[in-house]
């Protein structure tokens, strides 16, 4: 038998422990995300994998919002975040701070996620785009490169919260190696 663990057995960090813990040097930039449930999900995933910060840009809603809280489950309190009117401003700030900026998007010269070889000592900023339009072209143009998640089905994209989970897991996994 394989007994399910109780929450008290999971040895999770307290809010203070999380804030003091060393973070993976990954900033998540959300480019005009319309769904507050997706935003909350990204917060929760960023918390799970100890990501540094989330930049909420353009129409992307900011906490506190009931719909964000419903999926974030308190991660808006643990994960640092900042709002920007324009995604380009967040990218310029990250670039000035030495981050490699990568759009999560299907582009002509994208590197597939499975081909990514990350340097855990390098800082990365990952741009996730609008649910229908993806990452805006002007934002893609401002990035150093693009990562594509390989897909073999009939659909052309994944939900942004799923994309964030897949990509952030890969970064977390490679940083831990």
In a domain, 15, yes or no: no
As given in the structure block, the two tokens for residue 24 are 């993976």
Q: Which of 79, 115, 107, 89 is nearest to 31 (CA)?
A: 89
pLDDT digits (tens, 9 = 90+) for 132-174: 999 999 999 999 999 999 999 999 899 999 999 999 999 999 9
pLDDT digits (tens, 9 = 90+) for 2-59: 999 999 999 899 999 999 999 999 999 999 999 999 999 999 999 999 999 999 999 9
Q: Provide the edge-to-edge strand list for the sheet that holds 80-84.
A: 80-84, 51-57, 24-31, 123-129, 99-104, 145-148, 111-112
Domain count of the chain?
1
* Residue 87 half-sphere exposure toward CB, CA atoms < 13 A: 28
| CATH number of the domain where residue 63 is located | 3.40.1280.10
In a domain, 1, yes or no: no
pLDDT digits (tens, 9 = 90+) for 82-106: 999 999 999 999 999 999 999 999 9
In a domain, 6, yes or no: no
In a domain, 2, yes or no: no
Residue numbers of the domain that contains 162: 22-176
In a domain, 157, yes or no: yes
């Amino acid at each position: 038998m394989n007994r399910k663990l109780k929450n008290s057995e999971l040895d999770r960090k307290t809010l203070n422990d999380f804030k003091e813990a060393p973070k993976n040097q990954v900033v998540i930039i959300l480019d005009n995300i319309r769904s507050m449930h997706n935003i909350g999900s990204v917060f929760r995933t960023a918390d799970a994998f100890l990501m540094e910060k989330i930049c909420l840009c353009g129409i992307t809603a900011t906490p506190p919002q009931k719909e964000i809280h419903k999926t974030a489950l308190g991660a808006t309190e643990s994960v640092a975040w900042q709002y920007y009117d324009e995604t380009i401003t967040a990218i310029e700030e990250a670039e000035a701070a030495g981050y490699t900026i990568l759009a999560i998007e299907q582009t002509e010269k994208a590197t597939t996620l499975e081909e990514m070889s990350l340097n855990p000592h390098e800082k990365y900023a990952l741009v996730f785009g609008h649910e229908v339009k993806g990452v805006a072209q002007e934002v893609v143009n401002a990035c150093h490169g693009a990562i594509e998640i390989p897909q073999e089905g009939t659909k052309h994209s994944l939900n942004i919260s799923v994309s964030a989970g897949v990509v952030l897991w890969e970064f977390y996994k490679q940083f831990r190696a």
